[in-house]
Amino acid sequence: MKKQSQKKANNFLPILDNWERHFHNHDEGLGTTYERFLLHNIFSEINDRYEVETILEVPSFGMTGISGINSLWWGQQGKEVFIVDDHFRRLKYIQEIWRSLKLPGHPLLMDYTCLSFKKNSIDLIWNFAALWFVNNLVDFANQIKDIAKKVILISVPNHRSVGLLFRRKFVDGSSGLSLDNIYPNRIKSVFHGHGWRFVKEGIFDIPPWPDIPMKKEEILKKLGLSFLNNFLFNIKNTKDQDAPENVLDYFSGKHPDLDKRILRYGFLENSPKLFQSLWGHHRYLIFEKVRS
């Protein structure tokens, strides 16, 4: 029964099984690349408002794609970035990527239930689609609120998304995932208060494709519509046909216009609220420290 439950969880979150292969083949799929660029817009707003200089991403192991690279944008801006992972081999891969891009990142092996950072030492603490790996959310939030100096950003899968609701049928209570942690009201209840206040939330990652754990290119292939890939996404393959353009090409400078091409559907981010609520893939919540 336990093996069956784990199989269901892995169908819901394939990254549990395939995280390592993304470090060898950087093709994350266009859906993952799309959401990464949208995160950059949120980062930019936070940076303008709070003048962030130090960043801690914890946990860094999230929903899909190459682990430990969500904070590359901050490194590109010359900020000091700390990335926490509790898996030794995965951390080594993360270190190699940051080093290859020559960005100021500090991947650290650390148990995120016991973070060894000083009080008020990090301007921004954040994570993306990783909160359901946290078993005790209250204890985790208390740690974060103690370490963070200015702002906390939490991003989770949209609990009302039709895609996620369908996928949840494959997960039961023994999956090991704390699915309650993705509900906005629960997040607000543990991160608001004791010197912190909730200031903003929103929905983002509202593309034309559904929120399902499959590369969008593969969907078209299964439907016999592979020819639409370039038309829809305007993404070109490199000489290695198994390695299409990916977000690391953007940060390395190989394809500096990748963000503009992949965000051609960005206008959907301004869709009517009801559509956002039912179709948007992710939510974000921002908390700021109360000034005394």
Instruction: Choose the most confident range, by mean pLDDT, from 102-106, 152-156, 165-169.
Output: 152-156
Tell me which residue of 176, 121, 177, 115 sits closest to 141, measured CA to CA.
115
Exposure string for 140-162, b = 16+ CB within 10 A, e = fewer = bbebbbebbbbbbbbbbbbbbbe
**Confidence band, pLDDT 50/70/90 cuts, at residue 241:** very low
40 Cβ neighbours under 8 A, 6+ residues apart: 73, 259
Q: Which of 12-16, 141-145, 237-241, 273-277 has the lowest mean pLDDT?
A: 237-241
Question: What are the pLDDT digits (tens) for 170-222?
Answer: 665 546 788 899 999 999 999 999 999 999 999 999 988 777 766 666 666 66
Predicted pLDDT of residue 126: 98
Quote the domain boundaries for residue 227: 2-289
Question: What are the pLDDT digits (tens) for 28-66?
Answer: 888 889 999 999 999 999 999 999 999 999 999 988 889
Predicted pLDDT of residue 54: 98
269 Cβ neighbours under 8 A, 6+ residues apart: 38, 204, 206
Residue 244's DSSP bridge partners are 237
Predicted pLDDT of residue 223: 58
Predicted pLDDT of residue 222: 63
| Alpha carbon of residue 100 to chain centroid | 21
234 Cβ neighbours under 8 A, 6+ residues apart: 261, 262, 264
User: Tokens 């992972």 correspond to what residue?
Assistant: 85
Q: pLDDT averaged over the chain?
A: 87
- When pLDDT is averaged across residues 135-153 and rounded to a whole number, the result is 97
Running DSSP on this structure, what letter comes out for residue 218?
Answer: H
Please report, for the domain that includes residue 259, its CATH number.
3.40.50.150
54 in Cβ contact with 121 (< 8 Å):
yes
pLDDT at 242 over 90: no
**CA 7 to CA 2: how far, in whole Å?**
9
Q: Which of 133-137, 154-158, 172-176 has the lowest mean pLDDT?
A: 172-176
**pLDDT higher for 283 or 162?**
283
Predicted pLDDT of residue 149: 98
- When pLDDT is averaged across residues 165-173 and rounded to a whole number, the result is 68
pLDDT at 150 over 50: yes
pLDDT at 16 over 70: yes
275 in Cβ contact with 44 (< 8 Å):
no
Predicted pLDDT of residue 210: 78
Phi, psi of 191 (to 5 degrees): -100, -20
Q: Count of domains in the chain?
A: 1
**pLDDT higher for 8 or 200?**
200
Question: pTM of the predicted model, to two decimals?
Answer: 0.89
Residues above pLDDT 70, as percent of the chain: 82
